[in-house]
A and B are shown apart, each in its own frame.
Chain A
Amino acid sequence: MAVFVQQLLNGLKIGSVYALVALGYTMVYGIIKLINFAHGDFIMVGAYTLVFTIPLMVASGMPAWTAVIFAVVACVAVGVGVEKVAYKPVREKGNRMSALITAVAMSLFLENLAQVLFGASPKTVSNIFKISNITVGGVTLNGNTIITIIIGVVVMLVLQAFVQNTKMGRAMRAVSEDREASILAGIKVNQTITLTFAIGSGLAAIASLMYCAAYPQAMPTMGSMLGLKAFVAAVLGGIGIVPGAMIGGLVIGLVESLSKAYLTTLTGGVLTSAFSDAIVFGILIVVLLIKPAGILGKDVGEKV
């Protein structure tokens, strides 16, 4: 039983990182119907910022996690920059497909730029949280895991409150629902889109802090697999829906962890723990077949 609880916590740890990254996907998709494939690479930008700023913060006597401020600034700058330079012109001239291709291109661009700037070899991130482990009833709770889960939940709740209750949040939902009508209603659409990118990228920075606390290494391609799994999480929960991303992320994390832990025993060795990624992506296919709109998504007939 203690082992099972441990495996659940392992799943929640990576799941809350997926959830935060998925939030970024979902917000951008919700508002401009663009799958921002460069979003995973914003995490990489955040991670490299942490690599270089944590020693600075520690040297100046601040706790290491305060370096997240720099990460947020860097990620927001990159996120808004990408939106202004690449996505906006394409959105105005091209169609949705060309926007998608642009997103893939930006992802490759950021990865290769990082390789040019920082080299291909991985860089170690310094210790972020100094919390000792807690043992409750034979289960060792890792300090990092607990912090990751708590931060994840708090960020999600704050974001949900922001989207539901503030003026800016209402503007975002309005643009998401009907762009033309919101222009008529006096909403500054472009400003709202920029804000969405800024928030999404800021979330990526927080996600990179949590990711680096658990997996302390930065490398140029670190965002691609992470981004893909978070994308699956966003689709699973219902892309465009904030609580959906939370649920999707946690479900994917748990599925991944539990399949790694028990797949070998359950299938009698036919499938091994190495198949967990296949199961995660298998879920994507199943969801697309059975409930294309995702767990929380509503089936809305498209106007033809």
Chain B
Amino acid sequence: MKKIFAAIVAASMVMAICAGCGAKDKVGEVASDAKQTAEEVKEEVEEAVADDGETIKIGIVAGVTGPTAVYGVAAQDGMLLAFDEINANGGILGKQVEVIKYDDKGDPTESCNAFNKLDGEGVCAVLGPITSGVCAAVAPIANDVGLVMLTATGTADTLTTADDYVFRACFADSYQGKKAAQFAAQELGVKDVAIIYASGDAYSAGCCDAFEAAAAEYGLNIVAKEGSATTDDTDFSAQLTTIANSGAEALFAPYYYNAVGPYIVPQAREAGFTGPIIGADGYDGTLTTMIEDKSIYNDIYFTNHYSPEDPSDTVQNFVKNFSDEYGTDYLNAFSALGYDAAYMLAQAIEEAGTTDRAAIRDAIAAINFSGVTGSFTLDETGTPLKSVPIITFKDGEQVFYTMLEN
């Protein structure tokens, strides 16, 4: 009897493992399908170009499968929506846009291969890749071959440097720390602030450093600075008790939604901290991790790339068109940034008046752009200096609070 039981359990475990493998295989299949389709598209494109040369070829490198697929799919959908709209409105420089897209599976090596392939296929610029790590691998190649790499979503501070071919449509990580300090000083009107951050996490520590640097500029006193080792900690009560007793009027806590919802906010309120809590784009998603008592989240503000609740026409137009085309599953900051990146590139080509790669580079560097994620120019490294929307929670709903001008 015992043996039979053991056999059954063992068999079910084996099946569970196989189920896991199956899923992986499927991803692989999808990926190779995608590759095949891309190759077919490429052939068609080559034929089309050979025929009349009347299209503008733009490359997309995005990890639409693999570990960061959620981001990749969202960003790529945003880009494709933008190019559909552009083509429907007569294209760029009077020519239709031909998109050649490759899936890099979120892998740096694959991404470099895809970028080289696009270079060989004669695209005039490339949108992507998605995450900072992958972007960092592709950036040197972009500079070597002199082909614009415009990432929609790579936020690491070190990604862009002066005089190169690497640009982005999003702000850098540290920019949010600076904006949070500006918000605390100008909108909340506080003087004494506290910080809690994860010292072992590049994003959290980067935001914290930028906040500290900007705090001096905006006349804020940092009365307590507490840390945790990682963003995955669950107990912050000791640090928050110290903060609650430090006399701080506001707290800057750059963590992700998985810690903010169940741990940071409830524990802060429990420890007796009643002031506003300020965060960064990692707070996006907190709605899914909130505990039952939603009222404790009412005095929370965070910076984000865009707000779907922003009443401006550009934003509402994007929200409507994207939802109609792709549904609302991927309607987020990533799709908005992908959408803006595509329009940025289109505007740059239009302004350059040619598909010459160097001319496009110069046009992007000098761009003055207005889109879903704000109006901006680029700094000397190629990173936008944007207006930033501040979002808050109200009884368990995400609400647009204000636009923090650049």
Contacts of A109 in B (CB 8 A): 13, 17
Provided the pairs A109-B13, A142-B270, A273-B228 are in contact, do residues A10 and B238 lie with their beta carbons within 8 angstroms?
Answer: yes
Binds A, one of B1-9, B212-220, B349-357: B1-9
Contacts of A272 in B (CB 8 A): 199, 225-227
Chain B residue at minimum C-beta to C-beta distance from A106:
B13
Q: Tell me the count of chain B residues lying within 8 A, CB to CB, of chain A.
A: 42
| Per-residue A-contact encoding for B243-272, CB less than 8 Å = 1, 0 else | 001000000000000100111001000111
Are A124 and B5 neighbours in the complex by a CB distance under 8 Å? Answer: no
Point out the residue from B5, B245, B262 that lies within 8 Å of A3, measured CB to CB: B245
Cα distance, A113 to B18, chains bound together (Å)? 11
Binds A, one of B86-94, B118-126, B288-296, B318-326: B288-296
Most chain-A CB neighbours within 10 Å: which of B23, B226, B290? B226
Q: A152 contacts the other chain (Cβ, under 8 Å)? A: no
Provided the pairs A217-B289, A274-B200 are in contact, do residues A84 and B241 lie with their beta carbons within 8 angstroms?
Answer: no
Are A261 and B242 neighbours in the complex by a CB distance under 8 Å? Answer: yes
Contacts of B258 in A (CB 8 A): 121-122, 217, 219
Cα distance, A165 to B230, chains bound together (Å)? 44
Contacts of B291 in A (CB 8 A): 124, 127, 216
Cα distance, A71 to B60, chains bound together (Å)? 48
The majority secondary structure among interface residues of chain B is helix
Q: A173 contacts the other chain (Cβ, under 8 Å)? A: no
Are A14 and B9 neighbours in the complex by a CB distance under 8 Å? Answer: no
The majority secondary structure among interface residues of chain A is helix
Provided the pairs A215-B235, A261-B242 are in contact, do residues A85 and B199 lie with their beta carbons within 8 angstroms?
Answer: no
Provided the pairs A85-B13, A122-B258 are in contact, do residues A10 and B237 lie with their beta carbons within 8 angstroms?
Answer: yes
Are A260 and B199 neighbours in the complex by a CB distance under 8 Å? Answer: no
Contacts of B288 in A (CB 8 A): 121-122, 124
Are A10 and B241 neighbours in the complex by a CB distance under 8 Å? Answer: yes
Most chain-B CB neighbours within 10 Å: which of A109, A140, A256, A260? A260
Point out the residue from B16, B19, B226, B261 that lies within 8 Å of A264, measured CB to CB: B226
Cα distance, A256 to B234, chains bound together (Å)? 12
Which residues in window 4-40 of A have CB below 8 A to B?
6-7, 10-11, 13-14
Cα distance, A13 to B16, chains bound together (Å)? 36
Contacts of A260 in B (CB 8 A): 226, 228, 238-239
- Complex A-B: 23 CB contacts under 8 Å: A3-B242, A6-B241, A11-B238, A84-B2, A84-B6, A84-B9, A85-B9, A85-B10, A112-B20, A121-B258, A121-B288, A122-B289, A124-B261, A124-B290, A217-B261, A217-B289, A258-B238, A264-B225, A273-B227, A273-B239, A274-B198, A274-B199, A274-B228
